[in-house]
Structure 1
Amino acid sequence: MRVAGVLSTLLLAVNLCRAAEPHVYLLSGDVAGTHDPSIMKEGKTWYVFATGKAPDGGQFAVRCSDDLEHWKLCGHVFDAVPDWIKERSPGTKDLWAPDVSYVNHEYRLYYAYSLFGKNTSGIGLAVNKTLDAKSPAFKWVDKGLVFESKVGDNYNAIDPNFILDGKGGAWLSFGSFWDGIKMWRLDDAGMLSKTDTTLYSLARRARPENAEPAPPNLPANWEAVEAPFIVRHGGYFYLFTSWDLCCRGVKSTYRTMVGRSKSVTGPYVDMSGKALTDGGGTEVLVANARWLGPGGESVLAGGKDLMVFHAYDAATGKPSMQLSTIEWRGGWPRVGLGR
């Protein structure tokens, strides 16, 4: 009986270790071309929103699944780039980085417009009562500009992410290159707060000793931190970001990093205790032989926490959706990448 008890304990320990490994979903269907995905569930269906045009020409292709493995294209958000964006940014052809959330009985989709490498950018907001395109209540209503950045600002108004702090406060993190990841407080309608106008700094890259100069009219590569996403877990707020370079096919060098804080506005620190505003960050996802540049991440917290992100095929350089559970060890997240 004593031997049997020892064996049972060992088997339990082995099973617990196995259970702590992230589950990487084997995806099929319309997953190729997915970039900067954001995930939400309504009813029995999961929805993923992504950067760029849908096959029918609409902005922000939407993909649907009932099992997280088989995906199909199921519509888009906008028929075209809104007129107000065409006026503000005539060169914009595609909208970027959708971020979907559910608050105050509506779905909110924050999104960005810009020109590649520029910080003359802006973040908009659209709302809908449902994500089900077959529902009579389905209609995306564009609320227009939330805020913008201009030449001379030390931040870039793209890659928005909405987060509730659990104390009645709503916040929007954002940022790409320049001085890194920033945050504004929002009002109940999802626009910028008029009572708290502080621009909070959450993360930035540290300048290397032998930093290369920036290309003409572009930020330096060493400044590359973007795609913030904040999620609450176990008494902490976790800030995920993408470091290095996306959108370069087989030369993409994205990797996903994380830090945590007791307060939504920071300070965020990595596993070693280094502040993210001083260049700190703990690796969560890095490239492997099959998939390069994993990043552009978003999280859906629930019975099982999920991270959806994109990565680039090492053979073709084309982006595709990736999906993994998040497993937490010692208060820090672990995420898997396909092989």
Structure 2
Amino acid sequence: MALLPNTAQAAGTYPDPRPLTGQQIIHDPTVIRLKSGRYVAYSTGGVIGARLSRDGKQWDDAGNAFAEPPSWWYEYNDTGDPWAPDISYRAGRYWLYYAVSSWGTNHSAIGVATSRTGLPGTWTDHGKVFASETTDHWNAIDPALIKADGKLWMSFGSYWTGIRMVELDPGTGKAVPGTTVHHLATRPDLPYAVEGPYIVRHGRHYYLFASYDACCAGVNSTYRIKVGRSTDIRGPYVDSTGKPLLEGGGDLLLEGHGRYIGTGGQSVFQDKGKDWLAYHYYDAEDNGTPKLGLNRLTWKPNGWPTVR
């Protein structure tokens, strides 16, 4: 009972997202500032839906990453529907990772495409990066990339015992053959409702952000963002009390408040030396429509992140 006042106080301090205009509808956003100076956001929906902005505030619909789904996607769902992309820049190219699956199964795959400009309509698909089957204890969706210790890593995972990570070949961008599947976070109870990992480095720590509880239910969504950290990219990740994320730990970073329901599907991007948290929320004042949330991500003296 002693925790309740602190919890209520924390909830009261959650900032609203940055005011945006234009096309704000989005789900599972990944955002980057392109070399051209424009911003692009890719997302679940369409054939990887795209939004473009010149200032990070006014967003315009920019179609889709692909004109048509690559044929191999249909192995994982009947509609060729991609989920939860991740964009990054490396070796002179933009890399777009994404997942294809069906609701409620871990017969899933992560794929990758590259582009010289990062703009919609310019992507070349390179096929599967990593896959999971119903016999696995993980689910190959929600990819996110990070370079660490001279290696390239991809975190991923949704339910099915939580968050995992594998090493990628920097040349192909695909999983190293026989790579170890590292376990980073889970919950002690079924259905292990944690997904959408994103890892960033700050100072001497790696910070693992993940979405907990239920998405995709409009105003009934309970998505919220938690975080833990480790000095080793492979873990163990712990929260500020020292509780491992493999034992259900995690500091609450952002949850629903006011009209902004079910905050999650997050990613982090840098712009002009500042860190930003991108996520979706369900707008309680617009029939639960999923929209883009952007907040500055800052760091406390003790190293832990906070949003403002």
TM-score, normalized by length of structure 1? 0.82
Q: Deviations over 1:83-112 (max 9, x none)?
A: 1121x2242442100000001111000100
**Residue 324 (structure 1) aligned with residue 264 (structure 2):** no
Contact 2:65 / 2:119 at 8 angstroms: preserved in 1?
A: no
**Residue 46 (structure 1) aligned with residue 39 (structure 2):** yes
Q: Deviations over 1:102-142 (max 9, x none)?
A: 01111000100000111111000000011246xxxx72110
Partner residue of 2:137 out of 126, 147, 154: 154
Letter in 2 for 1:292: I
Deviation at 1:61, TM superposition (A): 1.3
Q: Could you tell me which residue of structure 1 aligns to residue 71 of structure 2? A: 83
Letter in 2 for 1:300: F
Question: Secondary structure at the residue paired with 2:96?
Answer: strand
Question: Which 5+ residue runs of structure 2 have no aligned equivalent?
Answer: 1-13
Q: Could you tell me which residue of structure 2 aligns to residue 245 of structure 1? A: 214
CA distance in 1, matches of 2:56, 2:131: 35
**Residue 37 (structure 1) aligned with residue 43 (structure 2):** no
Deviation at 1:22, TM superposition (A): 6.9
TM-score, normalized by length of structure 2? 0.90
Q: Deviations over 1:242-265 (max 9, x none)?
A: 000000011100000000011111
Letter in 1 for 2:213: D
Q: Could you tell me which residue of structure 2 aligns to residue 215 of structure 1? A: none
Residues 62-141 of structure 1 correspond to what in structure 2 (within 5 A)? 62-86=50-74, 88-132=75-119, 139-141=122-124
Q: Could you tell me which residue of structure 2 aligns to residue 181 of structure 1? A: 163
Bigger share in strand = 2
% identity of equivalent residues: 44
Question: Secondary structure at the residue paired with 1:280?
Answer: coil
Deviation at 1:326, TM superposition (A): 0.5
Question: Secondary structure at the residue paired with 1:301?
Answer: strand
**Residue 256 (structure 1) aligned with residue 207 (structure 2):** no
Question: Which 4+ residue blocks in structure 1 deviate beyond 6 angstroms?
Answer: none
Contact 2:92 / 2:116 at 8 angstroms: preserved in 1?
A: yes
Distance 1:253 1:22, change over 3 A: closer
CA distance in 2, matches of 1:96, 1:198: 24
Contact 2:213 / 2:224 at 8 angstroms: preserved in 1?
A: yes
**Aligned pair count?**
290
Contact 2:275 / 2:296 at 8 angstroms: preserved in 1?
A: yes
> Which protein has the larger Cα radius of gyration, Structure 1 or Structure 2?
1
Question: Which 5+ residue runs of structure 1 have no aligned equivalent?
Answer: 1-20, 54-58, 208-219
Question: Secondary structure at the residue paired with 2:72?
Answer: helix
CA distance in 2, matches of 1:191, 1:284: 31
Superposition RMSD on alpha carbons, in Å? 1.6
Partner residue of 1:204 out of 186, 204, 208: 186
Q: Could you tell me which residue of structure 2 aligns to residue 25 of structure 1? A: 18
CA distance in 2, matches of 1:52, 1:248: 15
